[in-house]
Amino acid sequence: MNGGMAGSGAAGCVLCIHGHFYQPPRMDPFTGRIPDEPEAAPYANWNERITAECYTPNAEAGHFGHISFNLGGTLAAWLDREAHATYARIVADARAYYAAHGVSNGLVQPVHHTILPLARRRDKICQVRWGIASFRHRFGHDTRGLWLPEMAVDLDTLQILVQEGIRFTILSPEQVQGDLSAGAGPYRVRLPNGGGEIAVFVRDRDLSNNLAFNMPDSAYVDEWLRDWLGRRCTGGRLVLIATDGETFGHHRRQGVAVLGRILAAAAGGSTSQPPEYRPAVPYLLTTLGQYLDQHPPQTEVEIIENTAWSCAHRLDRWAVGCPCTPGDSRWKGGLRRALDNLACDLDAVYVNETRALGLDPWRLRDDAIAIVLGQVDGMAYLSGNGVGHLTQEQARRLLLLLEAQLYRQRMYASCAFFFEDLERLEPRYAIGNAVRAIALTRYATGDDLCHGFRRDLRVPVSGRSGRNAAEIFDTILARAEI
């Protein structure tokens, strides 16, 4: 990359576009099917619609071979099943990038898009390990980068990343303290108590937001590059645009074409755009893993803990509610308390069962992602983990409790807490996953955890309908027929 920008001198820069691609789990946890989502018409659900508008056209244009990206676990699994050609193209392009550059252009995403600073430590570890294993499973290689859901960050989470072999992540400038004159960095963040260090890339917030929210028409990309990138593009430094991947085609219709032109306009650009198109600003393209390899951090910064990129009220949006959403969002605190108490109860049953069998409950859970990914069936997984001595009944109970732990993780998908009202689909999915975890636990051991959960759910109330979450729970329970 160094010296590759012939003739551009100090006027140029290196640009990385990072797309965060994610959809929440939309399946009914009892049937595994996505209920009809009428707002997504003419498509049956949002996954189908966003695939048609964004994932497929970007994949077909070869964009996943030129940008830096992370692809959510639940979305990847859905694409693999329901839009396989698109999935296969994304995977093939990422594999080709790795083969060509010896470094990945993908980043791990914690599997259930949990707000990690709000999770307990063993759940942070689980989400990170499941994310790393999923990435390896899909792409056939490792990456050293991890995308923090909503960029929510604390030092404890960063320390876990380092322990699990991750070397870098992305933050927004308002989450970092220090001299940010080196553009996107990377910067060094030292971790306390001898916890080592991690590299942090800092996105250009204004540039990212301008592209996402005031995207030019594709005919005006050159002007946009000159007016917006031009000001930042000096001294060969790194400029990072990081935004939702769905910006390109779903949130902004012209996004696929605009992304194509930005990629093609780079010096040595190699997409399907016509070669005669040349920008007013000279820049090279890179990806974060590649750039870090060639430019180790020179400057140290500190992070501002318990912050995120999409809410200026620390983590209130996902913890207790905040003014980012209209109306009364206090239901968020009540729902989180109910889920936390239930998680405690579910864990107590699971730990009792595993410890009685002489097993390490959390190691067993962390490695069980192999079952979720279909790499191994449940019985083979248990034998492979030295649990071959169990009776059939013990194995059955243990596998049900492990499955309950999967739905317990899914309860915490960040989207449940992101929007304004408790009656929306996303909080209902959280409660639905909780009901599924409760049902599996009852099948396994006979323990019925409904009562305490339902009691806690009487606290959060929908501002829209006036119904409390216990009433929503009753509806889901009645339909689930457990």
Which residues inside 443-472 make contact with Zn ion, applying CB under 5 A?
Answer: none
Considering the complex, state which of residue 95 and residue 424 has its C-beta at the smaller distance from Zn ion.
424
How many residues belong to the site for Zn ion (CB under 5 A)? 5
CB of 167 to Zn ion, least distance (A): 30
Token look-up 């759940």 returns 123
Which window, 33-41, 186-194, 236-244, 313-321, contacts Zn ion (CB under 5 A)? Answer: 313-321
Kindly indicate which of the ranges 275-283, 311-319, 374-382, 469-477 contains the residues binding Zn ion, using the contact rule CB under 5 A.
311-319
> For residue 426, what is the enclosing H or E element?
helix 425-445
Q: Which stretch binds Zn ion (CB under 5 A): 76-84, 90-98, 308-316, 377-385?
A: 308-316
Nearer to Zn ion among residue 69 and residue 318 (C-beta) = 318
Residue 470 CB: number of other CB atoms within 10 A?
Answer: 18
- The first and second tokens of residue 404, run together, are 């309950």
Binding mask 357-396 for Zn ion (x = CB under 5 A): ----------------------------------------
Contact predicate 152/307, CB 8 Å: yes
User: Around Cβ 278, how many Cβ atoms within 10 Å?
Assistant: 11
Closer CB to Zn ion, 292 or 315, in the complex: 315
In this complex, which beta carbon is closest to Zn ion, that of residue 225 or of residue 415?
A: 415
Site for Zn ion (CB under 5 A): which residue of 113, 144, 317, 397? 317
Which whole-number Å values give the CA distances from 17 to 13, 240, 481, in the listed order?
13, 6, 47
Cβ-based neighbour number of residue 141 at 10 Å: 16
Nearest approach, Cβ of residue 309 and Zn ion (Å): 11
Q: Is 203 exposed, middle or buried (0-12, 13-18, 19+ CB in 10 A)?
A: buried
> Interface with Zn ion by CB under 5 A: which range of 36-44, 128-136, 256-264, 320-328?
320-328
The residues, any chain, with a CB within 8 Å of residue 100's CB and separated by 6 or more, are: none
User: Taking contact as CB under 5 A, which single stretch among the options 182-190, 231-239, 293-301, 304-312 is the one that binds Zn ion?
Assistant: 304-312
Contact 189, 299 (CB under 8 A): no
Look-up: residue for tokens 């109860």?
A: 345
CB of 311 to Zn ion, least distance (A): 3
**Residue among 65 and 321 whose Cβ is closer to Zn ion:** 321
Ordered strands of the 187-190 beta sheet: 168-171, 197-202, 187-190, 299-300
- Residue 315 Cβ, how far from Zn ion at the closest point, in Å? 9
Measured from the CB of residue 325, what is the shortest distance to Zn ion in angstroms?
8
Shortest reach from residue 314's CB to Zn ion, in Å:
8
Residue 302, classed as helix, strand or coil, is strand
Query: What is the Cα 189 distance to its own chain's centre?
Result: 22
Give the C-alpha separation, 39 to 28, whole Å: 17
Token pair recorded at residue 329? 């969002």
CB of 321 to Zn ion, least distance (A): 9
Residue range at the interface with Zn ion (CB under 5 A); choices 78-86, 238-246, 269-277, 312-320: 312-320
CB contact at 8 A, 445 and 401: yes
Q: Are 158 and 198 in contact, with CB atoms under 8 Å apart? A: yes
Q: Minimum Å distance from CB 318 to Zn ion?
A: 9
Q: Residue 235 or 323: which CB sits closer to Zn ion?
A: 323
Among 1, 191, 324, 450, binds Zn ion (CB under 5 A): 324
Span near Zn ion by CB under 5 A; candidates 51-59, 129-137, 321-329, 378-386: 321-329
Tell me how far, at minimum, the Cβ of 326 lies from Zn ion, in Å: 12
Q: Output the smallest distance, CB 307 to Zn ion, in A.
A: 11
The nearer residue to Zn ion, 145 or 427, going by C-beta atoms, is 427
Stretch of 40-48, 125-133, 318-326, 435-443 lying at the interface with Zn ion (CB under 5 A): 318-326
DSSP secondary structure of 7-56 = TTGGG-EEEEEEEEE-----S-TTT-PPPP-GGGTTSSSHHHHHIIIIIH
Confirm if 28 and 34 have CB atoms less than 8 A apart: yes
Nearer to Zn ion, 323 or 388 (CB): 323
Find where tokens 């049953």 sit: 349
Instruction: Give, to the nearest 10 degrees, the angle between helix 469-480 and helix 450-457.
Output: 140
**Is the CB of 11 or the CB of 324 nearer to Zn ion?**
324
Closest CB to Zn ion among residues 267, 322: 322
Q: Is residue 229 within 8 Å of residue 237, measured between CB atoms?
A: no
Minimum Å gap between C-beta 240 and Zn ion is 23
Q: Which one among 180, 322, 425, 477 touches Zn ion, defined by CB under 5 A?
A: 322
Using CA atoms, how far apart are residues 246 and 243, in angstroms rounded to an integer?
8
| Residue 311 interacting with Zn ion (CB under 5 A) | yes
Tell me which of 313, 330, 337, 458 binds Zn ion, using CB under 5 A.
313
* Residues of the shown chain interacting with Zn ion in the complex, contacts defined by CB under 5 A: 311, 313, 317, 322, 324
